[in-house]
């Protein structure tokens, strides 16, 4: 049995962190579903920037949309929705077979709206309605400002992928926003069956510290943060607050391990896959990581609900001078800035192609 299949059978969903029109047109995504147990995917501005810049597959549609008077964000979302609805249709049998737990795709709102909760919710609603697919998550950053947008989007019935989470506290804040939205739905007499995932970024922890700690501590922090968040996740699901919501028909906001491509050239290229295996969670991985794990991946066991040795690892990083709490704040701020920069690059790519093809 392939490592990917073993991971899937353990109860963790394998999602692809990539989307391009070429993946769809060549049947590659369909093959990944059949051969690598892929049951969903995520996208982001960097992925679309690379896809549009390095492929001519989008050129006919860009030319058509420019002719129709579209530009910038409006043109991009037309392209993105086309790709993601095709992908959503491929995953729909999985979505239905798993009673809507799995088989999801994700589309991100403009990061330029990060500090405007009302505009974020309006765009989330509009994009979800435009796509017309019930297995589409709208990605909203889990920043302090994003909390009210997440709550309101969930209350509005929009499934949300909470992104840009780095710490246990970030995850708990995302879980709180999700439950607030559901509690408001219950109070209003609405169904609380509105789905969500909480995306915890892993590899950036080790990228930020690999040259600042002893060799024996290198590439240990990301997994420890994942373990710590998993303990919190299990705690939320066992809480009285969540059990009351579950009794009304709510389903778990699953913990998703994101940014699981290895950044350290000295480390295993599947470092974060086997080490973060856990049931009722998701691991969304870059294409090269997915293929590498299928070729030589191994499971190191299942994450412990008690966190294994995560607290000892975190204490060791504190001992060698890494302020983990401050680093988590910095990583989220840097991530938000990176999203903005990626979005600007994407808009420049759209503008460049539009002018070239006009």
pLDDT tens across 239-269, in order?
999 999 999 999 999 999 999 999 999 999 9
Classified as helix, coil or strand, 40 is strand
Structure tokens at 29: 């995504």
Residue that the structure tokens 């979800």 belong to: 128
Range of lowest pLDDT (70-79, 241-250, 298-307, 319-328)? 298-307
Residue 112 has pLDDT above 90, yes or no: no
C-alpha to C-alpha distance for 6 and 304, rounded to whole angstroms: 18
Backbone angles phi, psi at 141, to 5 degrees: -65, 140
Does the predicted TM-score (pTM) go above 0.85?
A: yes
| Distance between start and end Cα atoms, the chain | 51
Supply the pLDDT for residue 357: 83
Exactly one of 139, 212, 263, 348 is catalytic; which is it? 139
Indicate if the alpha-carbon torsion angle 119, 125, 126, 131 is positive or negative: positive
Supply the pLDDT for residue 304: 84
Q: Which of 24, 254, 79, 197 is nearest to 32 (CA)?
A: 24
Q: Which of 44, 125, 127 is nearest to 78 (CA)?
A: 127
Supply the pLDDT for residue 115: 80
Residue-wise pLDDT for 205-249, tens only, equals 999 999 999 999 999 999 999 999 999 999 999 999 999 999 999
C-alpha to C-alpha distance for 40 and 283, rounded to whole angstroms: 10
C-alpha to C-alpha distance for 65 and 60, rounded to whole angstroms: 9
Q: What percent of the chain has pLDDT over 70?
A: 100
Supply the pLDDT for residue 54: 86
Let me know if 358 is a catalytic residue: no
Binned at pLDDT 50, 70 and 90, residue 129 comes out as: very high
Q: How large is the greatest C-alpha to C-alpha distance in the chain, in angstroms?
A: 61
Binned at pLDDT 50, 70 and 90, residue 309 comes out as: confident
Over range 327-347, report the average pLDDT: 94
Supply the pLDDT for residue 290: 97
CATH class as words, domain 3-352: alpha beta
Contact 108, 164 (CB under 8 A): no
Structure tokens at 176: 């709180």
Supply the pLDDT for residue 346: 92
Q: What CA–CA distances, in Å, run from 306 to 96, 186, 228?
A: 33, 32, 8
Residue-wise pLDDT for 4-49, tens only, equals 999 999 999 999 999 999 999 999 999 999 999 999 999 998 899 9
């Amino acid at each position: 049995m392939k490592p990917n299949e073993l991971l899937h059978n353990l109860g963790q969903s394998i999602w692809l962190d990539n989307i391009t029109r070429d993946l769809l047109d060549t049947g590659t995504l369909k093959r990944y579903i059949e051969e690598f147990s892929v049951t969903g995917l995520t996208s982001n501005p960097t992925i679309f920037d690379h896809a549009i810049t390095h492929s001519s597959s989008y050129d006919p549609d860009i030319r058509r949309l420019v002719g129709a008077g579209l530009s910038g964000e409006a043109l991009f979302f037309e392209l993105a929705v086309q790709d993601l609805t095709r992908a959503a249709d491929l995953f729909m049998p999985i979505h239905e077979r798993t009673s809507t737990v799995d088989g999801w795709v994700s589309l991100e709102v403009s990061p330029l709206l990060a500090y405007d909760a009302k505009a974020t919710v309006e765009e989330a609603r509009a994009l979800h309605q435009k796509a017309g697919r019930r297995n589409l998550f709208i990605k909203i950053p889990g920043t302090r400002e994003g909390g009210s947008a997440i709550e309101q989007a969930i209350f509005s019935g929009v499934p949300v992928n909470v992104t840009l989470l780095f710490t246990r506290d970030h995850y708990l804040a995302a879980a709180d926003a999700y439950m607030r939205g559901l509690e408001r739905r219950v109070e209003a007499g609405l169904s609380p069956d509105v789905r969500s995932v909480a995306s915890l970024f892993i590899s950036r922890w080790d990228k930020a510290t690999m040259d600042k700690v002893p060799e024996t501590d290198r590439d240990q922090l990301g997994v420890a943060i994942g373990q710590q968040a998993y303990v919190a996740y299990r705690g939320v699901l066992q809480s009285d607050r969540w059990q009351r919501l579950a009794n009304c028909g709510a389903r778990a906001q699953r913990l998703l391990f994101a940014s699981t491509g290895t950044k350290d050239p000295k480390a295993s290229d599947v470092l974060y896959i086997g080490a973060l295996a856990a049931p009722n969670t998701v691991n969304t991985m870059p294409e090269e990581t997915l293929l590498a794990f299928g070729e030589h991946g191994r499971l190191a066991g299942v994450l412990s609900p008690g966190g294994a040795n995560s607290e000892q690892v975190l204490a060791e990083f504190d001992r060698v001078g890494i302020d983990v709490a401050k680093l988590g704040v910095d990583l989220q701020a840097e991530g938000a800035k990176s999203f903005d920069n990626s979005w600007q690059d994407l808009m420049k790519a759209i503008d460049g192609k539009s002018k070239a093809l006009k």
